[in-house]
């Protein structure tokens, strides 16, 4: 399982990074390390909804449940996220990103995380 991290690099541009999420096998299935969010919420947006350049309001995992969204970062890379995809937005400073809903309505589950959350540390396998 993986997520796509959206962040501001040392070059001042926003970027994407793929991160593999470490899982441990249990009788109930393969499970990641636990998250300790500040809060969670759902968001529904309509097809064609466009949000020009903006920053994440805080470190947030966005899990797309239905619909498709296109996200662009300032280094010119564009990604599409659909059902089951996880985008981790931590570009709280800098130029940010822009989003356009392509199919929908889009339903997303938002996991709002603390400022000190380290996605690389969390995503490591249980054996690290």
Q: Determine how β-strand 2-8 pairs with β-strand 14-20.
A: antiparallel
Among 126, 76, 83, which residue's Cα sits nearest to residue 104? 83
Let me know if residue 11 belongs to a domain. Answer: yes
Q: Domain range spanning residue 97?
A: 2-123
Could you give the number of structural domains in the chain?
A: 1
127 has a pLDDT exceeding 80:
no
- Pair 98, 52: CB distance under 8 Å: yes
Let me know if residue 128 belongs to a domain. Answer: no
pLDDT in tens, 76-91: 999 999 999 999 999 9
Among 91, 116, 108, which residue's Cα sits nearest to residue 37? 116
Q: Determine how β-strand 60-73 pairs with β-strand 86-89.
A: antiparallel
**Tokens standing for residue 63:** 């899990």
Report percent pLDDT > 70 for the chain.
97
Residue listed under structure tokens 């809903």? 101
What CATH number does the domain containing 113 carry? 2.60.120.10
Let me know if residue 107 belongs to a domain. Answer: yes
Let me know if residue 55 belongs to a domain. Answer: yes
- 116 pLDDT band, cuts 50/70/90, is very high
DSSP code per residue over 45-70:
E-TT-EEEEE--SSSEEEEEEEEEEE
User: pTM, whole model, 2 decimals?
Assistant: 0.91
pLDDT in tens, 60-113: 999 999 999 999 999 999 999 999 999 999 999 999 999 999 998 999 999 999
């Amino acid at each position: 399982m993986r997520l796509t991290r959206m962040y501001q690099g040392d070059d001042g541009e926003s970027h994407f990074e793929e991160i593999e999420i470490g899982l441990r096998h249990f009788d109930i299935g393969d499970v990641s390390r636990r998250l300790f969010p500040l809060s969670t919420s759902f968001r529904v947006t309509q097809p064609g909804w466009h949000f020009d350049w903006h920053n994440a309001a805080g470190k947030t995992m966005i899990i797309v449940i239905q619909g498709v969204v296109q996200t662009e970062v300032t280094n010119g890379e564009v990604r599409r996220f659909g059902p089951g995809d996880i985008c981790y937005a931590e570009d709280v400073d800098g130029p940010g990103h822009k989003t356009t809903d392509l199919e929908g309505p889009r339903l997303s589950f938002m996991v709002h995380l603390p400022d000190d959350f380290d996605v690389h540390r969390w995503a490591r396998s249980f054996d690290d």
